């Protein structure tokens, strides 16, 4: 596609439920990133995928968070047993292997009630 | 560890005027990239301008330019002829050559008044 697509745009969930957030990167982009933006904060790195290499999961805040990238394209970020502190905007970005610039999606606003 | 600091939580400027947003960073590495991103209410992070640390010449993109002071670890953004559409959050970010993570500052909210 022309840009990075994220769905859903907004998600309200009850505390304790699991949620899945989807990211569809730009076609041909080998690198994919997930960031979290809490209210009034900058962006916090969560996880990074590069081609077929093992993902860099060093930013995941707890084992309730996981992500996968199927076929080197679409990625899903899963949060299990959501907590209120998980409420944030989750942004996905992708990057071509030949450029150092990142293209971001419009994010998913997650609200845990 | 690398850090990025934006000391101005909010700024305002009148339309057609010039405004400068500050950013300082800390890293012991000598090779890195610096970025300014704009985040309007749509939430999408839009790349405004970028700079490679080895380039001494300041990057310029139309009305946007940077003042890159490597020794001082400063990377300020100047917006000339401000427009109402420039109203947004602006984030400064750092990426080291040998990693693939962007490290962001906490942002500056810019309001352009008519």
A98 pLDDT more than 80? no
Average pLDDT of the segment spanning A68-90: 94
Establish how many alpha carbons lie within 13 A of residue B43's alpha carbon, considering only the half-sphere containing its beta carbon.
Answer: 23
* Confidence grade of residue A61 (pLDDT, cut at 50, 70, 90): very high
A51 pLDDT more than 90? no
A14 pLDDT more than 90? yes
Average pLDDT of the segment spanning B95-114: 92
Contact A48 B106 (CB under 8 A): no
Q: How close, in Å, is residue A6 to chain B by CA atoms? A: 10
User: Looking at residue B10, what is its pLDDT?
Assistant: 97
Q: What is the average pLDDT value for chain A, to the nearest integer?
A: 93
Phi and psi at residue B84, to the nearest 5°? -55, -35
d(CA B69, CA B46) in angstroms, rounded, equals 23
Contact A104 B107 (CB under 8 A): no
Residue B60, C-beta contacts closer than 8 angstroms, at least 6 positions apart: B49, B66
% of chain A with per-residue pLDDT over 70: 99
Contact A109 B101 (CB under 8 A): no
User: Looking at residue A1, what is its pLDDT?
Assistant: 53
Counting Cβ atoms within 10 Å, is residue B58 exposed (0-12), middle (13-18) or buried (19+)? middle
Q: Where are the beta strands (DSSP E) in B1-114?
A: 3-5, 10-14, 19-21, 24-26, 32-39, 46-52, 60-61, 64-69, 74-79, 88-96, 103-104, 108-113
Please name the residue of chain A whose CA is at the shortest distance from the CA of residue B52.
A100
User: Which pLDDT tens digit goes with each residue over B37-90?
Assistant: 999 988 889 999 999 999 889 999 999 999 999 999 999 999 999 999 999 999
> Residue A54: how many CB atoms within 10 A of its CB?
7
User: Looking at residue A12, what is its pLDDT?
Assistant: 98
Confirm or reject contact between B62 and chain A (CB < 8 A).
Answer: no
Please name the residue of chain B whose CA is at the shortest distance from the CA of residue A97.
B100
Please name the residue of chain B whose CA is at the shortest distance from the CA of residue A45.
B101
A 6-65 residues with CB < 8 A to B:
31, 33, 35, 40-45, 48, 50, 56, 59
* Confidence grade of residue A40 (pLDDT, cut at 50, 70, 90): confident
Average pLDDT of the segment spanning B21-30: 95
* Confidence grade of residue B8 (pLDDT, cut at 50, 70, 90): very high
Q: How close, in Å, is residue A31 to chain B by CA atoms? A: 9
User: Is residue A20 within a helix (H) or strand (E), and if so which, with residue range?
Assistant: strand A19-24
Q: Which residue has the tokens 């917006």?
A: B79
Pair B95, B103: CB distance under 8 Å: yes
Give, in order, the Cα–Cα distances in Å from A25 to each of A88, B6, B90, B93, B104: 20, 29, 23, 21, 21
Confirm or reject contact between B50 and chain A (CB < 8 A).
Answer: yes
Contact A56 B101 (CB under 8 A): yes
A105 pLDDT more than 90? yes
Give, in order, the Cα–Cα distances in Å from A8 to each of A31, A49, B83, B98: 21, 21, 31, 33
Q: How close, in Å, is residue A81 to chain B by CA atoms? A: 26
Residues of A in contact with B4 (CB under 8 A): 42
């Amino acid at each position: 596609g022309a840009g990075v697509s994220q769905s859903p745009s907004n998600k309200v969930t009850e505390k304790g439920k699991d949620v899945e957030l989807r990211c569809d990167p730009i076609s041909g982009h080998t690198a994919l990133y997930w960031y979290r933006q809490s209210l009034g904060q900058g962006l916090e790195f969560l996880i990074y995928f590069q081609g077929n290499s093992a993902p860099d999961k060093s930013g995941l805040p707890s084992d309730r968070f996981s992500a996968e990238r199927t076929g080197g394209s679409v990625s899903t970020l899963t949060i299990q047993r959501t907590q209120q502190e998980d409420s944030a905007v989750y942004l996905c970005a992708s990057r071509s292997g030949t450029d150092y610039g990142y293209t971001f999606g419009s994010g998913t606003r997650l609200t845990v009630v | 560890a690398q850090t990025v600091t934006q000391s101005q939580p909010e700024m305002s400027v009148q339309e057609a005027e010039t405004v400068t947003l500050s950013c300082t960073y800390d890293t012991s590495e000598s090779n890195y990239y610096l970025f300014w991103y704009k985040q309007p209410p749509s939430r999408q992070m839009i790349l405004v301008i970028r700079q490679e640390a080895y380039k001494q010449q300041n990057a310029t993109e139309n009305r946007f330019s940077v003042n890159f002071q490597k020794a001082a670890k400063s990377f300020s953004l100047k917006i000339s002829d401000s427009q109402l559409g420039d109203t947004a959050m602006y984030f400064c970010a750092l990426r080291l050559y040998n990693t693939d993570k962007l490290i962001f500052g906490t942002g500056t909210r810019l309001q352009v008044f008519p």
